[in-house]
């Protein structure tokens, strides 16, 4: 029973972070369909723009993969903690956090908008 609960919690965490990425990519790949849907949902005075380049898509995909990989590979740190190799787990987690933060920084540096554009609705 505990295994099922842990499995459901892990799946919930994965879908929590996968669903915004899927929404973004489906919006950019199926743009003709989403324009029709958005025209019904959003008021006409809201500015909607999509900032996509190949480099930003690769950055987003890579950073999402790095961000989701610890949740998908939870058995390796669990085993190391049981064996007594806590330092290895901490170093690996810190390394993934630094790599993810670097990719996020590159993604925001390449974005066509800034925090001062807070009045715009970005998709």
Mean pLDDT value across the chain: 66
Where in the sequence is the domain holding 104, given as residue range(s)? 2-122
Q: What is the pTM (predicted TM-score) of this model? A: 0.40
Q: What is the total count of domains within the chain?
A: 1
Distance CA 31, CA 18 (A): 19
Higher pLDDT, 11 or 123: 11
* Whether 81 contacts 30, CB under 8 Å: no
- pLDDT tens per residue, range 72-111: 566 677 777 788 887 877 787 778 778 778 877 877 776 6
């Amino acid at each position: 029973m505990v295994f099922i609960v842990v499995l459901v919690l892990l799946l919930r965490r994965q879908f929590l972070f996968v669903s915004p990425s899927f929404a973004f990519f489906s919006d950019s790949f199926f743009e003709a369909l989403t324009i029709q849907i958005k025209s019904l949902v959003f008021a006409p005075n809201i500015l909607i723009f999509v900032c996509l380049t190949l480099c930003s898509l690769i950055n987003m995909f890579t950073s999402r993969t790095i961000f989701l990989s610890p949740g998908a590979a939870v058995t390796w740190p669990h085993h190391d903690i049981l064996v007594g190799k806590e330092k290895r787990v901490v170093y690996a987690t810190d390394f993934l956090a630094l790599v993810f933060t670097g990719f996020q920084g590159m993604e925001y540096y390449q974005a066509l908008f800034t925090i001062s554009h807070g009045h715009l609705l970005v998709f």
